[in-house]
Amino acid sequence: MCGRARCSLRVDDIPRACGVNHGPIRTVQIDRYRPSYNVSPGFYVPVIHREHQGNDGGGGGQETVLHCMKWGLIPSFTKKTEKPDHYRMFNARSESISEKASFRRLLPKNRCVVAVEGFYEWKKDGSKKQPYYIHLKDGRPLVFAALYDSWKNSEGEVVYTFTIVTTSCSSAFQWLHDRMPVILGDKSSIDAWLNGSTTSGFDTLLKPFENPDLVWYPVTPAMGKASFDGPECIKEIPLKTEENNLISKFFSKKIPGNEKETNEPIKGSPKESNHPEPSGSLKAEQEENVDLPSDSEEKRSKKFDSFPLRPEGDKKCGIKRDYEELESETKPSPDKIGKLELSPRKKNSNIGKLEMSPLKKKSNIKTAGDKQSTLLSYFGKKP
């Protein structure tokens, strides 16, 4: 399919691009031509066709005509009151032009060629479409095979329109689209299409263009709008695949420090491991994580350094015998029970700053000679 093209050629260059280097050329409505980098159906585009001289259309030779027509065929049998739709027949499939009534009657005498610098095609990627600009490597214009017709509207104006003939895509073009315009690559094929009196022999012309000089590159999606025009339409742009690869690398890399938080394996390449390598320097580790920002790595290292696994001054408890000796040496006398405070170790424990009242402390401490406490012992007189 061909629905957008670049036609910014000068009027004088169009006949030469179509292999017409000698003889008189008659121009028709050429003043309607406006060079554009983004031509779409409904635009006026110059085409070359041949007409027989004389009123009967017989002998008398042929003349070359440079005629500015609208892209998008409107068949002559269309009703005058009908609103023309140039997007309905802007392309004609070469496999069916000899069968459909709209094209079959045009093959004998209404063949023409269109010269453009290049055309655009879209690559579908899910819901997104990326346009590509297709052109010849050496900058020569492309010449398309086309058919034209005339139609008279309700105002009595005769409107000339054309359609571009398409065929199956070339082997190098299959990744982008399944159709491409019929490209007439040399003067002999152009003359055969314009001068041929019968439809026999056209099958050799309506084939995919396999010339390796046909190249393409991505352009801005903004040219999808028909109002977008200018050199920016054909400016090559970088695709976002490289950026996506960097993002995927960022998340697939093993982040130092996360191994302390979780034991789950990190999905990545087979070369990545969840265990530290026995050899290697700090420099090698930095090279492995070259995709990580330097400031993020520094903050990550400070974060885990600020949470030690065990306080520095903390020591392991001794055996039970050492604990009993320590308890007997530090056990307070009964007269100091009221002034008992929690030890520093207990202050740091999960109990917090909660302290026991003197009365509760006194009641909980028992000596070897004490008997079972009674209710009267709590109401006894003070000494």
CB 249 within 8 A of CB 291: yes
pTM, to two decimals: 0.63
Q: Which of 7, 68, 112, 121 is catalytic?
A: 121
The answer to whether 15 touches 49, Cβ cutoff 8 Å, is no
Task: Note if 233 is an active site residue.
Answer: no
Encode the chain (383 residues) as per-residue pLDDT tens digits.
689 999 999 999 999 999 888 888 999 999 999 999 999 999 999 999 998 776 555 556 789 999 999 999 999 999 999 999 999 999 999 999 989 989 999 999 999 999 999 999 999 888 889 999 999 999 999 999 999 999 999 999 999 999 999 999 999 888 999 999 999 999 999 999 998 766 567 888 999 999 999 999 999 999 999 999 999 999 999 987 654 555 555 555 544 554 444 444 444 443 443 334 444 443 433 333 334 333 444 444 444 444 444 444 444 445 555 555 555 555 555 555 544 444 445 444 444 444 455 544 444 555 555 555 566 566 655 55
Report how far residue 313's alpha carbon sits from residue 361's, in angstroms, rounded to the nearest whole number.
29
Token pair for 93: 């499939």
| C-beta neighbour count of 80 within 10 angstroms | 10
- The reply to whether 7 belongs to the active site is no
Q: Which tokens sit at 13?
A: 């260059």
Cβ within 8 Å of residue 68, ≥6 positions away: 28, 29, 30, 31, 32, 33, 44, 45, 46, 47
- 3-class DSSP state for residue 234? helix
- Set 2, 7, 68, 112: catalytic member: 2
The answer to whether 35 touches 7, Cβ cutoff 8 Å, is yes
Residues 6+ apart with CB under 8 A from 36: 6, 7, 8, 43, 229
